[in-house]
Structure 1
Amino acid sequence: MSKKLVLIDGNSIAYRAFFALPLLNNDKGIHTNAVYGFTMMLMRILEHEKPTHMLVAFDAGKTTFRHSTFSEYKGGRQKTPPELSEQFAFVRELLDAYNIKRYELEKYEADDIIGTLSIQAEKEGFEVKVISGDKDLTQLATDKVTVDITKKGITDVDSYTPAFIEEKYGIPAERIIDMKGLMGDTSDNIPGVPGVGEKTALKLLKEFGTLESLLENTDKVSGKKLKEKLEEFKEQAILSKQLATILTEAPIEVSLPDTQYEGYDEKKVIELFKELGFNSLLDKMDIVESEEDHVLEEIDFTFVEDLNQEVLTTDSTIIIEVMEGNYHQSDIQGIAIVNKNGYYFIPTEVATRSSLFKEWAADESNRKTVYDGKRSIVALRWKDIDLNGVDFDCLIASYILDPSQTFEDIATIAKAKGIMDIQTDEAVYGKGAKRCCPEEKILAEHLVRKAIALHKLKEIYEEELKENEQYELFTDLEMPLARILADMESEGITVDVPRLQMMGKEITEKLTTLEKQIYELAGEEFNINSPKQLGVILFEKLSLPVVKKTKTGYSTSADILEKLASKHPIIEYILDYRQLGKLQSTYIEGLLKVVHNDTSKVHTIYNQVLTQTGRLSSTDPNLQNIPIRLEEGRKIRQAFVPSHSDWVIFAADYSQIELRVLAHIANDDNLIDAFRHDLDIHTKTAMDVFHVKAEEVTSNMRRQAKAVNFGIVYGISDYGLSQNLDITRKEAGKFIERYLESFPGVKDYMEEIVQDAKQKGYVSTLLQRRRYIPEITARNFNVRSFAERTAMNTPIQGSAADIIKKAMIEMAKRLENEKLQAKLLLQVHDELIFEAPRDEIEKLEKIVPEVMEHAVELQVPLKVDYSYGPTWYDAK
């Protein structure tokens, strides 16, 4: 059997992946784009190359043996962005899960490890494939060694063989180092000969063969200036060649047998993919996890056909089973109840037709323990049944106790607490397209087991919540909020379907007009949505400068087009065409699909137990992310109207709530003073950072100050800020430094919260919501650094989320006490959207800001802006 060794330049590929993909985060907020790109490349290699042996080499540190020869080697390189650094630990974990050998050697580079192993493998008859983003490694190409160099992305590669190198450069592979000696390499700070570029270097090598031969015969070089340069920088050229030469006899302690690849550890890969949130990659693996063999204890339960008082007592645990994700439009599969009298399964029809069940469900005094009470309330409400008296929700309790845990169903949270007599929903219902409801007997037993598990969990969770001093957060905030969210979901918001359809028609017309304008400027018709065809038009026919190439041609991504906007009027039209196209498909057509036939409303689902900061999100449809940058995007809000023709939409939102929370938590005198005097905080920041008077603050200064203000809240790094402001990392770093000098309280807070997190293992919001950060004591510097930024940010974001949740609860009480008809319809980030009769507006203008501004008392005033109008659009 032929042997094939794949050698991967770990640092280079991770860098390529990081810069090729947008910043991605998992549910814990850890950046994952480099690991994701690395994984994609790894999966592709395993599929296409089918290696028998593999090794990934890493650089061991900044100092190598080359620095003793030339101390400025790699001196110009920027510091690795922390968003990338923190991912290297996961890349190594990934390789361990895949059982791929990884290796690094002090004082040597990954290139030297690869060079040494490639020579050894070639001698032993291996076929060798080297994969890197660094063209230096092309010097290793031989008849047995192929070097794949990634281009702009990670899957788009050029395969460097001796023949390819000869064709591309006109010199043999072994002369690549001579070329580097002459032209140098700015990325590695190899000087070369000043003024000699690739073209000149190749011309000289074709004529003289080697660098040494050239330097011995400089008198034969044509061109006086070039001849002088070669003679003056002779030693530098020789040094540069030496620096560029990959060592093929490094003292490595890894041998070829150590690199044997025998397949990955399925369990470890699954666990890591889950931790990183790589759901699409899990689906590609097509893995169905088998549950541990566990014999379930027999249970004796009653299959209820006639409801009676014995079944429906107070202090019951109830399961309302809705299988599908969107419970607004799904049938209830069955109901299970557990109480002091026994275990019961009730078929849906028996419960929903029973007046006794309806009375019991609606009676507030009948206390009920549930799992996902919001879902249960809404599902029953669609059957015209009110569910009151929900006093304990195990899903919410588990979320408060540890928001980092992703519990998929009752079985997973139960097993985490040692309760084993239950199967997962996946085991009972199946997965994906095969998911279906089993026969009633199996369903009944499964639901009863779920109810028994909840019954046991309640006692465990109550004790833990009290121990953590989080019982009030549970009872006074999250539990009442679940009821309010259920009311909002059930109520929905009315959509003016004809208006939405008209907008779709208008956008279609604009798209047609834009299409004609683009064709006219292009001089021909083509498929605008085809990046390949568009690339040909822009970069070949119109000769625009090429910014980036991909495997399939030219990159025409939005960021590339924006850079070219000033080069040709066609670019602006194409950008508008794309944005309008997305509005049409995602928001116009997408919203029309989810308008409920019976209500003419959309009933979004609020995720109460998803984010680690406590923020709410929404799905089916996501009404928190309707784009409002384009006027056409903002106009989509015109389609959201009150449910009565003589009512209006009233919108109120917190002004700069996170910065106000920061001022309070950090106890920073400068920030507190600015908010108490109602100053423009971004202008104030610009004044302090740039040391200028208010009237001297330019719009650009304010823009930069705004980016830092909000960036600080999110624990931004110099790299992140440099990307936001399109400035250098050095400038961004100085900016952050000046900010922290201007606001010393913020600086102290950042240092103290990190120390606090290291001692406790978690951080808390103002209302005692916790976020556990075990990585804060990690040995790996980069993982620890990310955890520190998370510790700084979470109390701010989480407290802001708690405040608006408290405001929602207080508003619901106030509307009821004032006997107003106004209804809370939506929560969008820091904004609350109501509908109300016109004659209640005067009252709302008074009570909404009053309630929201006093939901929680801070050292600085909370400020609420409000407006109203016939549509959501007009209320802004």
Structure 2
Amino acid sequence: MGKLLLIDGNSLMHRAYYAIPTLTTSKGVPTNAVYGFTNMLFRLLKEEKPDFIAVAFDKKAPTFRHLEFEEYKATRAKAPEELLGQFSILKEILSAMNIKFLEIEGFEADDVLGTLSKKAEEEGLFTLIVTGDKDALQLLSEKTHVMLTKKGITEMEVYDPEKFVNKYEFSPQFLPDMKGLMGDASDNIPGVPGVGEKTAIKLLKEYQNLENLYNALSAQGDERVKGKLKDNLLAYKEQALKSKRLATIIRDIPLNLDFNELKIKVPDREKLINLFRELEFNTLIKRLAESADVSGERKQAEKVLQIEEVYKEEGNEQRDEIAYGIKDIEDLYRLKEDAKSAGVLSLFLTPERVLFSEGRKVFSLGNSFLQEEDIKNLLRELFLMNGIKKIAHDGKGLIQFFARNGIDFSYEFDTMIAAYLLNSSRNRYDLETVAYEYLGVELKDKPDEEKCFTLIPLEGVLEERIKNDGMEGLLYFIELPICHILADMEMTGFKVDREKLKKLSAEFGERLMELTGGIYKLAGTSFNINSTKQLGEVLFEKLQLPTVKKKKTGYSTDAEVLEKLKGAHPIIEKLLEYRFLMKMKSTYADGLLNLVDKVTSRIHTSFNQTITATGRISSTEPNLQNIPVKTDIGRKIRGVFVADGPDHLLLSADYSQIELRILAHMSGDEKLIESFVKGEDIHARTASEVFGIPIEKVTPEMRNRAKAVNFGIIYGISDFGLAQNLNIPTKEAKEYIENYFKRYPKVKEFIENTVKKARVSGYVTTLFNRRRYLPEITSRNFNLRSFAERAAVNSPIQGTAADIIKLAMVKIYRELKRRGYKTKLLLQIHDELIFDVPLEELDAVKNLVKYHMEKVVELKVPLIVDVKEGYTWEELK
């Protein structure tokens, strides 16, 4: 006997939605219901092994039940939008799995299930109905069983007729009669007032069905039902019979269907894997990957699994067929020819060796071989060959590794950079994470050969996604060239005057001792200034300062608290200076000393390309972008960074108000554009517009407030936020913002449209098509949603600024190389570039840098670059 599996799509999707915590993709698409349903579907297919399958859904249109009883299901709350949007996703998955789903106008999913199960019985099939709706129990028979969800979607209970009778003491087909008597609150079926489940069961045990009951009530001499119950039954007879009709599942709806359409078919695995990738269902990808023959893409990944099997056993003879250790020049020739034939070569760097793969085998080259000149020459030839696509994951390390060995290395695809572009909101882009997400391949604790091998199929998947998202230009013309530039900048480093740095550390130490003595004197006691507990006791108990914030562990003495206490006591100013100076000394004065290369006297920071969500480059170990510029201490720290020698100078090239210029371009606001085209002081102009006065009457305070409004708008600031920044009433801040938008109406329009588009698509883009996904923009949490709305406004602007300066870096770097200049790019700090320039190149480099930065892209407003020079970094400001 064949087996038919019938699934109540609506019922189980609702169950899954409420059973599984909120789950969204990184793009903000809710997926918890469809994830739960699909997981359950996989489990059912594995455990039940059906021959036929179908999923039934309710149609949106009213059913015959609504026409008969207008109040049918009227009390049900509307399904959440987050759930409704998931039904179309589920139907895509079912289509990819080649599973038939049905929805018939005028009928409910129950009626589809009832009709199909009846037809199945006639065909001699056994049917299992899976649902969360007990109404389906009326369909029970020897050939039709029902699997009911008990808790969530994981705990299930299977009913057959015997189990039903044992529980309810009447036959399953009379379940609608019970609903006719007791009603059903969930469907707003009224039933008979005063009749509950116990009474209904008792009556059905006695009379079997409603018709028999009412015949008996009409007959003379039947005293089994009397009193108020009898009165209610008679008074509400029509309502009871109507309620029964509403609860009865129709089993003969018109279905033009051949059962062969329901036969289990092989899924379209490629389509399914792509869907799961998009939905970020990594565990389902893996589960699918483990099951049998798959698409060409997956077959590539299967080669990775093949290597895994080879490496499971020590001494496995197959190793020689897949993994080659390069022992001499002949082995390297073989790699070169194989790569030429394949047209592709992946590279993977480990501390001891470099691994190469052309898609069939893995070649291993020990670092010691790179001391041999003939090996180096052959590698140079290999890297210069046309027609070989070189692939790496975080290729910056490979560039530096080969450079240290005197070999120029360039490559055509970086799987880490591609994964970052596809979703810049991730926390991790290591190969294990990316391979698992896009291939369903588990690389954790796997041999390095397997990791190298994985790069080729991974590149195929990522390249297709990059193409689909329209980010090829961003990857190939900006991000990949930037990898090479950052590698060079890291190797070059920034020269430091060690003696000056030591003196600065000592100076900071002396000042800290002075501050410590002053704090003790003002406190009237000595204590551990760095102890929150002791400091809290001194401030709020001994000195009796007003308590600002208290925690379970005691008084809070964080920066916010101390700022609020300014002016309350002279000790506060000294504490703030002490904390700032202590941080500067430990992080920079002492911290930098430990990082200065003892041979070259340079600091080699690490530049990160995949950290920020907006595309900005960040700096770590140490973070040279974060050294304060507006404080005397920060300037002193910058003063220890110097040019390469007495015949060199540092050159700074800084974009002037680039983000405001991008806002003018993107919004198309005529007044804002006009101000920049005329070269006006934009903050003075904004003050003039907001305060309604001539520009020549704008005071410095007005200009500062206008500046706060200008930059606040870019960051989506609220009236409360602006009030906090300017220390003014919220009402006044609100007026500033309203006046700004009145004067620059297209800016407001741009902001509103950007947020609106982000809600629909789940992401925003820069002028260069860089995406930032904002899943929180549809969040029910106000704070999360507000953050996402601010990011939606700021990210296209800040991201475009990041793209522009990166593109400028590429053009400048190439031009410096072309001219054979010795000028070196040392540092990028958001909108600023710092170079080390030999004096004989200074004038030419100033012109070159300014030209390429200002002309790198054509906007509706001019880009202006301020250029400064000096021997120390401090002198550049």
TM-score grouping bracket, smaller chain normalisation: 0.5 to 0.7
Measured against aligned partners, the alpha-carbon deviations of 1:161-190 in whole angstroms (never above 9, x if no partner) come to xxxxxxxxxxxxxxxxxxxxxxxxxxxxxx
Rounded to whole Å, the distance in 1 between the matches of 2:417 and 2:718 is 33
1:364 aligned partner:
384
SS class of match (2:820) = coil
User: What secondary structure, in the 3-state scheme, does the structure 2 residue paired with 1:528 have?
Assistant: coil
SS at match of 2:576: helix
The structure-2 alpha-carbon separation of the partners of 1:780 and 1:506, relative to structure 1 and needing over 3 Å to count, comes to closer
| Corresponding residue of 1:414 | 435
TM-superposed deviation, 1:538:
3.4
Map residues 690-729 of structure 1 onto 2, 5 A cutoff: 690-729=691-730
Deviation string, structure 1 residues 217-264 (Cα, Å, up to 9, x no partner): xxxxxxxxxxxxxxxxxxxxxxxxxxxxxxxxxxxxxxxxxxxxxxxx
* Aligned counterparts of 2:789 and 2:552: Cα–Cα separation in 1: 38
List alignment gaps of at least 5 residues for structure 2.
1-24, 29-285, 291-301, 311-321
The one-letter code sitting in structure 1 at the alignment partner of 2:484 is R
Does residue 856 of the first structure (1) align with residue 834 of the second (2)? no
Q: Aligned runs of 1:375-774 on 2, under 5 Å?
A: 375-382=397-404, 384-420=405-441, 422-424=442-444, 427-428=445-446, 446-774=447-775
Q: What one-letter code is carried by the residue in structure 2 that aligns with 1:586?
A: T
Aligned residue type for 1:305: K
> For structure 1, which segment, 365-374 or 670-679, has the greater mean C-alpha deviation from structure 2 after superposition?
365-374
- Counterpart contact for 1:419–1:453, Cα < 8 Å: no
Structure 1: gaps (5+ residues): 1-26, 31-290, 323-331, 429-445
User: Which residue of 2 is the match for residue 301 of structure 1?
Assistant: 323
- Partner Cα distance (2:459, 2:717) in 1: 40
Contact 1:358–1:385 (CA under 8 A) maintained in structure 2:
no
Retained in 1: the 8 A contact 2:376–2:407?
no
Q: Does the 8 A contact of 2:27 with 2:763 survive in 1? A: no
Cα deviation for residue 786 of structure 1 reads 4.0
Contact 1:319 1:447 (8 Å CA) reproduced: no
Shift of 1:779: 6.2
- Aligned twin of 2:346: 318
Per-residue deviation, 1:533:
3.0
Offset at 1:504?
0.2
SS in structure 2 of the partner of residue 618 of structure 1? strand
2:346·2:453 contact (CA, 8 Å) conserved in 1?
no
User: Aligned partners of 2:790 and 2:520: how far apart in 1?
Assistant: 49
Deviations, residues 438-494 of structure 1 (Å, cap 9, x unaligned) = xxxxxxxx2221122111122233333233222111111111111111110111111
Q: What fraction of aligned residue pairs are identical, expressed as a percent? A: 44
State how far apart, in whole Å, the 1-side matches of 2:409 and 2:607 are. Answer: 19
Q: Is the 8 A contact 1:318 1:335 kept in 2?
A: no
Paired with 1:604 and 1:389, the residues of 2 have a C-alpha distance of 22
Match of 2:353 in 1: 334
Judged with a 3 Å threshold, the aligned counterparts in structure 2 of structure 1 residues 752 and 347 are, in CA distance, closer, same or farther, namely: same
SS of the residue corresponding to residue 333 of structure 2 reads: coil
In 2, the alpha carbon distance for the partners of 1:474 and 1:563 equals: 47
For the residues of structure 2 that align with 1:820 and 1:448, how far apart are their CA atoms? 40
How many angstroms apart in 1 are the aligned matches of 2:791 and 2:571? 43
- Indicate conservation of the 8 Å contact 2:399/2:410, yes or no: no
Judge conservation of contact 2:345–2:356 (CA < 8 Å) in 1: yes
Matches within 5 A, 1:24-43: none
Work out the CA distance in 2 between the residues paired with 1:780 and 1:614: 26
Distance 1:785 1:581 in 2: 35
Larger C-alpha radius of gyration, 1 or 2?
A: 2
Deviation of residue 850 (structure 1)?
A: 1.2
Equivalent residue, structure 2, for 1:328:
none
| Contact 1:757 1:773 survives alignment (8 Å) | yes
Determine the C-alpha separation between the residues in 1 that align with 2:762 and 2:872: 47
Are the equivalent residues in 1 in contact too, given 2:27–2:773 (CA < 8 A)?
no
User: Contact between 2:764 and 2:772, CA under 8 Å: does it hold in 1?
Assistant: yes
Change (3 A) 1:392 1:511: same
Q: Take 1:344 and 1:781, find their aligned partners in 2: how far apart are those partners? A: 54
Residues in 1 aligned to 2:537 and 2:367: alpha-carbon distance in whole angstroms: 60
- Identify if the C-alpha distance between structure 1 residues 843 and 782 changes in structure 2 by more than 3 Å, giving closer, same or farther: same
Q: CA deviation at 1:333?
A: 3.2
Kindly report which structure 2 residues correspond to 1:167-182, keeping only aligned pairs within 5 A, or say none.
none
Separation in structure 1 between the aligned mates of residue 633 and residue 690 of structure 2, nearest angstrom: 37
- Distance, in Å, in 2 between the alignment partners of 1:825 and 1:583 is 22
Say if 1:417 and 1:29 are closer, same or farther in 2 by CA, change over 3 A: closer
| Structure 2 Cα separation of the partners of residues 676 and 543 of structure 1 | 57
- The equivalent residue for 1:830 is 831
- Per the TM alignment, residue 661 of structure 1 is displaced from its structure 2 partner at its CA by 0.3
- SS of the residue aligned with 2:439? coil
Deviation at 1:564, TM superposition (A): 3.0
Deviation at 1:669, TM superposition (A): 0.8
Query: Secondary structure at the residue paired with 1:639?
Result: coil
Query: Whole-Å Cα distance in 2 between the matches of residues 308 and 564 of structure 1?
Result: 70
- Structure 1 pair 702–759 and aligned structure 2 pair: CA distance change class (3 A): same
Quick check: 2:392–2:413 contact (8 Å CA) kept in 1? yes
Aligned residue identity for 2:345: T
Between 1:336-345 and 1:866-875, the stretch displaced more is 336-345
Q: Give the SS at the match of 2:332.
A: coil
Equivalent in the alignment of 1:345: 364
Please report how far the alpha carbon of residue 822 of structure 1 lies from its aligned counterpart in structure 2 after TM superposition: 1.0
Cα drift, residue 29 of structure 1? 13
1:644, distance to aligned residue in structure 2 (A):
2.6
Q: Which residue of 1 is the match for residue 85 of structure 2?
A: none
1:693–1:386 Cα change, 3 Å: same
Normalising by structure 2, we get a TM-score of 0.60
- SS of the residue 1:606 aligns to: strand
CA shift in 2, pair 1:783/1:574, >3 Å: closer
**CA gap 1:644/1:523 in 2 versus in 1, 3 angstroms:** same
Cα distance in 2 for partners of 1:361, 1:372 equals 20
Aligned mates of 1:361, 1:414 — CA distance in 2: 29
Q: Residues 713 and 29 (structure 1 numbering): CA distance in 2 closer, same or farther, change over 3 Å? A: farther
How far the C-alpha of 1:790 sits from its partner, in A, is 2.6
Q: 1:568 to 1:393 in 2, by over 3 A?
A: same
1:856 offset after TM fit, Å? 1.0
Inter-partner Cα distance in structure 2 for 1:449 and 1:782:
44
Q: How many residues align?
A: 560
SS at match of 1:417: helix
One-letter code aligned to 2:490? E
Contact conserved, 2:402 with 2:409, CA < 8 A, in 1? no
Q: Aligned equivalents of 2:565 and 2:870: distance in 1?
A: 40
CA distance in 1, matches of 2:379, 2:609: 26
Q: Is the 8 A contact 1:316 1:337 kept in 2?
A: no
CA offsets 1:565-598 (integer angstroms, 9 cap, x no match):
3233332222212211111111111111222233
Q: 1:646 offset after TM fit, Å?
A: 1.9
8 Å contact from structure 2 (residues 26, 423) kept in 1: no
> How far, CA to CA, are the matches of 1:715 and 1:449 in structure 2?
46
Residue 36 of structure 1 is matched in structure 2 by none
Residue aligned with 2:651, SS = strand
Q: Which residue of 2 aligns with 1:266?
A: none
Partner Cα distance (2:607, 2:568) in 1: 44
Aligned counterparts of 1:613 and 1:338: Cα–Cα separation in 2? 33
Call closer, same or farther: CA 1:552–1:470 in 2, change over 3 Å. closer
